[in-house]
Amino acid sequence: MKKRKKQHMSISKKLTAIMVSILLLFGLVTLGLSYYIVRNSNLTDMNQSLYDKGMILAKTIDIETLKSILENPSDSNPNALRLTKEMDAINDHSDSITNLFLITVDGGNINAPVLSSSILELGAEYNQDMIAMGLSPDFLARIKEVFNTKDATATDIYSDEFGSYKTGLTPILDEDGTMLAAYAIDYDVSMVTGKAMSEALWTLLVTVIFLIGSSIAVYTLLRKKLTPIQQLSLQSKKVAEGNLELEPLPVTSTDEVGALTQNFNSMIENLKAVIKSTTNVSARVSNTANILSTNMQETSDSYNNVASSMQEIASGADLQVQKAKESTITIEEMSIGIQRIAMTSNQISESSILASEEAERGNESTNKSVAQMNAISQAVNQSAASVKLLGDHSNKIEEIVGIITGIASQTNLLALNAAIEAARAGEAGSGFAVVADEVRKLAEQSEASAREISTLISHIQHDTNESVNIMVRAVEEVDHGIVMINDSEQSFSQILTSIHHVTGQIQELSATIEEMAAGMEEVTSAVKDMEDFSINSKDNTRAVAATSASQLNTVQRVSEEAQVLSELSEELLNVVNTFVVK
């Protein structure tokens, strides 16, 4: 079953209905009050009229005629008939008076000696017993009151089968003030009530006409005043449907409705501006979020690469630490060799001194010196290679390599000079054979150390091969010089002279070797520092790698939040797009 659409009453009709209800209630209250006031006013007028007419009739009646009627209260008495006619005339000329009659009280009897025809026609008779007629107790009490006080009075309103009445009682006194009778006048209260009702109905009619006119005026006025509100309702409905392309409503008044219309127009304009701004901002936020998400993805990839690189660097740092440790060991061994060379140099120096004192021993010492110089040459070459390797890491090592290179040159020069002097000595120079043998042994040991150092240096620095080859050629020249020393047949005096000269050079060489030993200690310290630095670099590299991983997680979270922001911006843009704004 199709559901009936609920009908909505417009606000103008509602307000009109309320106003009509209020006016109708006001009209009904006015009607009731009017009826009550008019009725009470008429009753008051009726009481006054009863009093006034009663006084007039009581004073106009002839006392002698009245006494005659009281003596013979019957239809046979002409005075009684004449008074009845007078009463009828009064009754005919008054719409409110229905009955007139006289009342007398004689002991316990209450009679009406003369009555108007309106009562006689109902079956009453002259000198009618009023108690027998069934008068109300209030009526009887009022009769007794008027005869006792001799003052005019009136009964309360009473009703019978013929209607509602109010009776006025006025005393009739003779010249002596004796009360002869009471003049009774019945007023028809229904006439007063009807008159009051008639006047109230007229009031109601006027009220109804006023209500109809007022309702029409109120409805017209409300409809005119509420037309902007109806327009506001229609415009609001369009706004609720998302249509903001509305013409501004005309402002036709300066009251609250006009202010409401003006505020509504301002609200629409502001809402348009807000929607446009929100649309632009949402689009920019969405675009920015997409760019941010893309950048975060690129940053994430970069951090992945950085993390991988840091892992490789950390692995390289481990290898560097291992190589540094090996270099430290080698340098320490090399330092020991140099110290041994220094000791040998001292021995050579002592031998040179002895050779200067004793020729044969000097010859042998010279040969030893030549051999020792060969060993020194090899050691110097090894030291030069090692210092060259360390020169890549420290300027100090480069300076020491320069010193070692200089010493090698001096050794070559000394070896050459020794060879020349041995050649001059001839057979006398054969004493250098013993020294040469010791130098050879030391040279072999130095050569072994040099090979070990050369092997390690080849792993650390490949660019020193040429220098090694040069030093090898220098060693070959020294060997050639030794052969020449062994074959030379020069005089011993020349050898002595040469030995003195060589002794001085050997002393210089010893000092230089001591300097080399000190330099090697510095090199050893530098290499250890490099080892410590490599360890610290390794730890720092791993810390950087861990930080990079943490930053990668942060970047990924930012990328996810940027994606969420982009989705929210799109949702906001979809919501805003439900409004139609140019």
User: Tell me, what CATH number does 64's domain have?
Assistant: 3.30.450.20
| Contact (Cβ atoms closer than 8 angstroms) between residue 196 and residue 96 | no
Residue 182 and residue 55 share a domain: yes
Give 126's pLDDT tier (boundaries 50, 70, 90). Answer: very high
Average pLDDT over residues 546-570: 76
CA distance 152 to 256: 67
State the pLDDT at residue 191.
Answer: 67
The answer to whether 510 and 346 have CB atoms below 8 angstroms apart is yes
Q: Look at residue 29 and tell me whether its pLDDT is greater than 70.
A: yes
Of 389, 324, 326, 318, which is closest to residue 537 (Cα–Cα)? 318
Q: Which is higher by pLDDT, 194 or 2?
A: 194
Average pLDDT for residues 86-112, to the nearest whole number? 89
Task: Tell me whether residue 135 is in a domain.
Answer: yes
pLDDT tens column, 310-351: 677 667 767 766 776 776 787 777 778 767 766 776 776 676
> Is residue 546 in a domain?
no
pLDDT of residue 2 exceeding 50, the answer is no
Task: Check pLDDT > 50 for residue 89.
Answer: yes
- Specify the 3-state DSSP secondary structure of 163: strand
Q: Would you say residue 93 has pLDDT above 80?
A: yes
Lowest mean pLDDT among 187-191, 299-303, 491-495: 491-495
Tell me the sheet residues that pair with 102: 183
Distance CA 200, CA 203 (A): 5
- Average pLDDT estimate for 195-218: 75
Q: Which string of b and e fits 172-210 if b means at least 16 CB within 10 Å?
A: beeeeeebbbbbbbbbbbbbbbeebbebbeebbeebeee
What confidence score (pLDDT) does residue 50 get?
77
Q: What is the pLDDT of residue 170?
A: 94
Read off the tokens for 18.
Answer: 């309320």
pLDDT band at 100 (very low <50, low <70, confident <90, very high): very high
Domain that holds residue 398: 319-531
Taking 60 as the threshold, does the pLDDT of residue 35 lie above it? no
The answer to whether 363 and 380 have CB atoms below 8 angstroms apart is: no
Q: Of 211, 229, 246, which residue is a domain's last?
A: 211
Which of 154, 180, 211 is a domain's end point? 211
Residues 339 and 205 in one domain: no
Report the DSSP beta bridge partners of residue 184.
101, 169
In this predicted structure, which of 99-103, 158-162, 348-352 has the lowest mean pLDDT? 348-352
pLDDT value at 183 more than 80: yes
Q: How far is CA 387 from CA 229, 230, 310, 340, 391, in A?
A: 101, 102, 30, 18, 6
Is the confidence at residue 499, as pLDDT, over 90? no
Two structure tokens written together for 94: 């008054």
Q: How confident is the model over 72-95, as a mean pLDDT?
A: 91
**Higher pLDDT among residues 91 and 299, named by residue:** 91
Identify the three-state secondary structure at position 282.
helix
| Average confidence score pLDDT of the chain | 74
Give which of 347, 376, 341 is closest to 503, Cα–Cα: 347
Report the range of poorest mean pLDDT among 238-242, 292-296, 356-360: 356-360
Burial of residue 240 (number of CB atoms within 10 Å: 0-12, 13-18, 19+): exposed
Amino acid residing at 164: S
Is residue 271 in some structural domain?
no
- Nearest in space to 486 (alpha carbons), one of 364, 347, 395: 364
Residue 430 lies in a domain: yes
Q: Provide, rounded to the nearest whole percent, the portion of the chain with pLDDT above 90.
A: 12
Is 20 inside a domain boundary? yes
Averaged pLDDT, 69-73:
92
Rank 388-392, 471-475, 476-480 by mean pLDDT and report only the highest: 476-480
User: Helical H runs in 426-464?
Assistant: 432-460
Q: At what angle do helices 395-425 and 359-391 cross, to 10 degrees?
A: 160
* pLDDT, mean of residues 206-215: 79
* Cα separation, 246 vs 266, whole angstroms: 12
Q: Is pLDDT at 548 greater than 50 in this prediction?
A: yes
Whether the pLDDT of residue 179 is over 80: the answer is: yes
Residue 266 has pLDDT above 60, yes or no: yes
Round to whole Å and give the CA distance between 553 and 559: 10
Q: How confident is the model at residue 3 (pLDDT cuts 50, 70, 90)?
A: very low
Residue 102 has pLDDT above 80, yes or no: yes
> What is the mean predicted confidence (pLDDT) over 204-221?
78
Q: Is residue 138, in this structure, part of any structural domain at all?
A: yes
Could you give the count of Cα atoms lying within 13 Å of 465 in the half-sphere of its Cβ? Answer: 4
- The separation between the first and the last C-alpha atoms of the chain, rounded to the nearest angstrom, is 43
pLDDT-derived band at 467 (thresholds 50, 70, 90) equals low
- The residue from 531, 550, 574 where one domain ends is 531
Regarding whether 185 and 326 lie in a shared domain, the answer is: no
Q: What confidence score (pLDDT) does residue 302 get? A: 73
- Residues 525-543 have a mean pLDDT of 72
Q: Which helix (DSSP H) or strand (DSSP E) does residue 561 occupy?
A: helix 492-576
What are the pLDDT digits (tens) for 270-280? 877 877 777 77
Residue 137 identity (one-letter amino acid): P
Spatial distance between the Cα atoms of 265 and 246, rounded to a whole number of angstroms: 9
194 with 328, same domain: the answer is no
Tokens of residue 554, six digits: 């942060």
pLDDT digits (tens, 9 = 90+) for 421-435: 667 777 766 666 556
Question: 148 and 31: one domain?
Answer: yes
Taking only Cα atoms into account, the Rg of the chain, rounded to an integer number of angstroms, comes to 77
Point out which residues pair with 186 in neighbouring strands.
99, 167
- Highest-confidence segment of 387-391, 568-572, 578-582: 568-572
Q: What is the pLDDT of residue 1?
A: 44
pLDDT of residue 242: 75
Residue 372 lies in a domain: yes
113's tokens: 């000696």
Which residues sit opposite 170 in a β-bridge? 183
- In this structure, are residues 215 and 27 in contact, taking their beta carbons and an 8 Å threshold? no
Is the domain of 508 the same as that of 360? yes
Number of separate domains in the chain: 2
SS3 8: coil
- pLDDT exceeds 70 at position 295: yes
- Does residue 300 lie in a domain region? no
- Local structure of 416: helix, strand or coil: helix
